[in-house]
Amino acid sequence: MIHEATRRSELELSEVLNNRFSPRAFSAREVSDQELELVLEAARWAPSSMNEQPWRFVVTRRGGDAHAQLLETLNPSNRIWGDKAPVLILAMVQRTLSRNGQVNHHARHDLGLATAHFTAQATALGMGVHILGGFNAEAARTAFNVPEDLDIVSVLVLGFPGEADQLPENLRERESRRSVRLPLSELVRYGTY
């Protein structure tokens, strides 16, 4: 079912795409082991250049030291709401190709696809994902012993969406306002640029 209050496109996109948004308000509801496995499994089945599957994830759950450490690396403007989410995931890519050690120029592209799969599956299960670039990647590298051949790209904030009134006042109104998009006419050319 498409939630009319938060519908994105006027066109009949699939429910998952029309319902997806990046929440800041998260409910106290835990993400079960099965739900977590399913969203990671969705990421696993993303396409990638030469089927390299360059994505790597460190999963942390609320209550554990690792979750507290990852939270600590977030920019304060993200930490102020990200601390309510039950799952925080550090997303990385293997920088080189396993077959020949050359740079994989598509690694970040492919992590983006895996993240999109992850996000779509989470939305289908009623969860929300907020992807973050606003964090200290080098602090995360140290905290989680991430080897130098991995690039640290993003943090995925995962949980069930909560009520906007739990957010600091400056973020409340923004939570119910869906982001907008450029028109297709600005993004797409037919036949030639």
Residues that bind ligand FMN (CB under 6 A): 21-22, 78, 131-134, 154, 179
Tell me whether residue 22 or residue 166 sits nearer to ligand FMN (CB atom): 22
Beta bridge partners of residue 128, listed in sequence order:
159
How far apart are CB 21 and ligand FMN at their closest, in Å?
4
Q: Which residue is nearest to ligand FMN (CB)?
A: 134
Task: Report d(CA 179, CA 102) in Å as an integer.
Answer: 38
Instruction: Summarize the chain as % helix, strand, coil (round to 5).
Output: 40, 20, 40
Tell me whether residue 50 or residue 150 sits nearer to ligand FMN (CB atom): 150
Q: Where are the beta strands (DSSP E) in the chain?
A: 55-61, 87-94, 128-132, 150-159
Tell me whether residue 104 or residue 154 sits nearer to ligand FMN (CB atom): 154
Closest CA to 23 of 111, 68, 102, 87: 87
Tell me whether residue 86 or residue 161 sits nearer to ligand FMN (CB atom): 161
Tell me whether residue 25 or residue 132 sits nearer to ligand FMN (CB atom): 132
How far apart are CB 184 and ligand FMN at their closest, in Å?
16
What is the torsional sign of CA 70, 76, 78, 82? Answer: positive
Task: Report d(CA 71, CA 6) in Å as an integer.
Answer: 28
How far apart are CB 153 and ligand FMN at their closest, in Å?
7
Beta bridge partners of residue 58, listed in sequence order:
90
How far apart are CB 33 and ligand FMN at their closest, in Å?
26
How far apart are CB 134 and ligand FMN at their closest, in Å?
3
